[in-house]
Amino acid sequence: MQSATAEQPRRVGIELQRRFRASPERIFRAWTQPVALREWWCPAGWVAGEIDIDLRVGGAYRIAMARAGSPGARVLVGGRFLEVRPPERLVYTWRWEGALANMPETLVTLELDGTENETLLTLRHDNFTDLGLRQQHRSGWMAACDRLDRLVTPALAMHDRPAAE
């Protein structure tokens, strides 16, 4: 006799933390506004397509992207918002279309804590059933945070730059 838990695949998640030199409001807007997402969401070699966001509990989002030079072949990620608390918390489902067909729906939780000059972002992405997919998403989120950092971090003022020798 098998128990119900023996039939369920083990689920694993990711937790990342990252500090940004920007306010929680700025990070939240960059994460939820299509114009800003277009600037940082896609990895190198990809371009953003249509981005639809209905930022409310129960609202849907879809982000399309395609490899540069291959506009016909696109993939989308989409889901529904389960919790929306600007600028401190965002919880949403995550489902790929056109890629990773065997990956079940997962859950993303974004928490932002900070001041007007600094934010600690904590990102959890849960319910992976495959360690390889978990690792792919972990690498993807780390690279996405690097791109987001370049967007939201103010350029160094002349007096903050190292002196030339």
Sign of the four-CA dihedral 75, 80, 85, 89: negative
Q: What average pLDDT does the segment 133-147 reach?
A: 94
Whether pLDDT at 95 is above 60: yes
> What is the average pLDDT across 5-17?
78
Work out the pLDDT band at 13, boundaries 50, 70, 90: very high
Name the residue type at position 98.
G
Give the pLDDT of residue 138: 96
What percent of the chain shows pLDDT beyond 70? 87
Please state, rounded to an integer, the average pLDDT across all residues of the chain.
88
pLDDT at 60: 98
Q: Are 122 and 111 in contact (CB under 8 A)?
A: yes
What is the distance between the alpha carbons of residues 109 and 37, in angstroms, rounded to a whole number? Answer: 17
List the domain boundaries for the chain.
Answer: 13-153
pLDDT grade for 103, boundaries at 50, 70 and 90? confident
Q: Which CATH architecture has domain 13-153?
A: 2-Layer Sandwich (3.30)
